[in-house]
Amino acid sequence: MVVLHQALVVLTLLLCKGLAFEKVFDTNIPGHMEPLGSHAHPSQVETRWTVPTPEEFYRLYTSASKPVVLKGAATRFPAYRLWTDSYLRNYGNWKVVVEEGKKEDRSKPTYTMSMNEFLDTYKARDVYLVHDLVPPNPMTEEVLLPKPITCGGFQHNIQSVVLWFSSGGTESTFHAEQVDNLECMFDGWKEYLLISKKDGETILDEDEGKYQEMDVEKVDMTIFPEIAQLPWYKLHVEPGDCFFVPQGWLHFVNSSKTRNMAISFWLTHQYRVVDDCHRPDQRKEVLSQITISDAGESSRVAFLDLFFGKPNMTLPVFLKFFSTEEAKQEETENMQANQSRESLMQRWMEIHKSKNSLKTFQQIDKNGDNLLSVDEVYNAPLVFFEKLIGGLGEEYAKYETVGDDEGKSGEDILKERKRMFLRNEL
């Protein structure tokens, strides 16, 4: 018994030491319980003192998925010089949307107030003006389009323009950029911590939501160990600078604790540059001249993502995303007598949707070569892509709201199929 007791004591001590070692090991992960980005030295984002042409902007940055800082690019804007608090009283009766809290929390409410009311109170309150600034708002007369997006197709792909205004000290969640974001600073500074789209996809593959819950001031690397393995970039901008963050890049942003103001141009991602800069009638210089693009263009972008950088999409690849196993068999094989009415109806619906998808492919494929080119996709009606992606869920529902029996949207289902395709599982 004595020997057995001693053995149990030794075993208990070893287990305790093992647990202690494991705990020490876990907490020795670089950046553990430190601010996001502390796990490794950052790479610096490219800084330019000359503004790229629209063609250069497309070739070097948007199509290459590469961020850039454009020093001084906003200093020519009338708004950069004029928009002091006292001057903004000229727009005091305009209603603006204000978020409760300068540290982003999507569970908190937003509310509307006049610009005058915001100017009266924002220095003493924990509030953040986040407001779409689009025509016919007269403030748009004082905002120029950054030169890289005055033509080349960019001027027609502006989804929204957002004014960010606070007393400073704002913080975002850690999230992926859903659009191409070209932002210009008017007052204060901002600092971005960035992880590339390619690296970010490796950690968002299974659970996008959990990273938005991450405490960016004290990152628990035992919960997010994959973060410690990823390279990251740092971007710092001052008043008068513009900067570009590509679609899909993960980022966290904070700002100076002084008056802080910026404008974001949210652009639908482009897969080509349009040769229109030589046409004065196509160039747009002032924000008041632009027409906001159709929000449904995001469905065309989601479709073009499936080209995976190639110049075209083949019919077999198309069918991997927009056909079903049931439709790959003859319809009569699916209509067996021993199936329930509900099962028959479901299988008929799948066949019907797949046949419609094939018909849509043929309508987009204008030259009939069984290949879809980028130009053919851009020349096709937007409704084709809304229905293709929407049809992955319940029929006839729209791109953003469509759901299958599990409540997933067509967009979510397409993302799942894209991940499976990249893993050769589709």
Q: Is residue 263 a contact partner of residue 202, using CB atoms and an 8 Å limit?
A: no
CATH 2.60.120.650, domain 43-293, yes or no: yes
Taking the C-alpha atoms of residue 24 and residue 29, their distance in angstroms, rounded to an integer, is: 9
The confidence score (pLDDT) of residue 202 equals: 74
257: pLDDT confidence band, cut at 50, 70 and 90? very high
Which of 77-91, 212-226, 392-406 is the least confident region? 392-406
9: pLDDT confidence band, cut at 50, 70 and 90? very low
The confidence score (pLDDT) of residue 112 equals: 97
Is 353 a residue whose pLDDT tops 70?
Answer: no
Is 162 a residue whose pLDDT tops 70?
Answer: yes
Give 219's DSSP letter: B
Answer with the residue of higher pLDDT: 394 or 279: 279
Mean pLDDT (whole number) for 222-239: 87
**pTM for the complete prediction?**
0.83
The confidence score (pLDDT) of residue 129 equals: 98
Is 365 a residue whose pLDDT tops 80?
Answer: yes
Answer with the residue of higher pLDDT: 168 or 422: 168
Q: Is residue 194 a contact partner of residue 232, using CB atoms and an 8 Å limit?
A: yes
Element (H, E) at 357: helix 341-364
E strands, 198-343, where? Answer: 233-237, 242-245, 250-255, 260-267, 312-314
φ, ψ of residue 385 in degrees (nearest 5): -80, -30
333: pLDDT confidence band, cut at 50, 70 and 90? very low
For residue 232, give the nearest of 194, 197, 192 by alpha carbon.
Answer: 194
Taking the C-alpha atoms of residue 166 and residue 260, their distance in angstroms, rounded to an integer, is: 5
Answer with the residue of higher pLDDT: 185 or 220: 185
Is 191 a residue whose pLDDT tops 70?
Answer: yes
394: pLDDT confidence band, cut at 50, 70 and 90? low
Q: Cis bond leading into 246, ω under 30°?
A: no
Beta sheet of 242-245, edge-to-edge order? 46-48, 68-70, 242-245, 180-187, 260-267, 158-166, 127-132, 95-100, 110-114
The average confidence (pLDDT) of the chain is 84
31: pLDDT confidence band, cut at 50, 70 and 90? confident
> 106-126 burial, b for 16+ CB within 10 Å, e for fewer?
eeeeeeebebeebbeebeeee
Is 359 a residue whose pLDDT tops 50?
Answer: yes
The confidence score (pLDDT) of residue 348 equals: 44
The confidence score (pLDDT) of residue 342 equals: 52
The confidence score (pLDDT) of residue 324 equals: 59
Is 65 a residue whose pLDDT tops 60?
Answer: yes
Is 96 a residue whose pLDDT tops 80?
Answer: yes
Q: Work out the number of other CB atoms within 10 angstroms of the CB of residue 54.
A: 23
Q: Work out the number of other CB atoms within 10 angstroms of the CB of residue 321.
A: 20
Mean pLDDT (whole number) for 85-94: 98
Chain-centre distance for alpha carbon 307: 18
For residue 254, give the nearest of 162, 188, 170 by alpha carbon.
Answer: 170
Taking the C-alpha atoms of residue 53 and residue 35, their distance in angstroms, rounded to an integer, is: 37
Which of 87-91, 182-186, 383-387, 415-419 is the least confident region? 415-419
Domain ranges for the chain, please list them: 43-293, 301-422
CA angle 375, 379, 381 (to 5 degrees): 140
Is 417 a residue whose pLDDT tops 70?
Answer: yes
3-class secondary-structure state, position 396? coil
The confidence score (pLDDT) of residue 350 equals: 54
Two structure tokens written together for 163 = 């004014």
Taking the C-alpha atoms of residue 38 and residue 191, their distance in angstroms, rounded to an integer, is: 14
φ, ψ of residue 233 in degrees (nearest 5): -125, 155
Mean pLDDT (whole number) for 382-407: 65
Alpha helices, DSSP H only, in 83-224? 85-88, 115-121, 197-204, 209-212
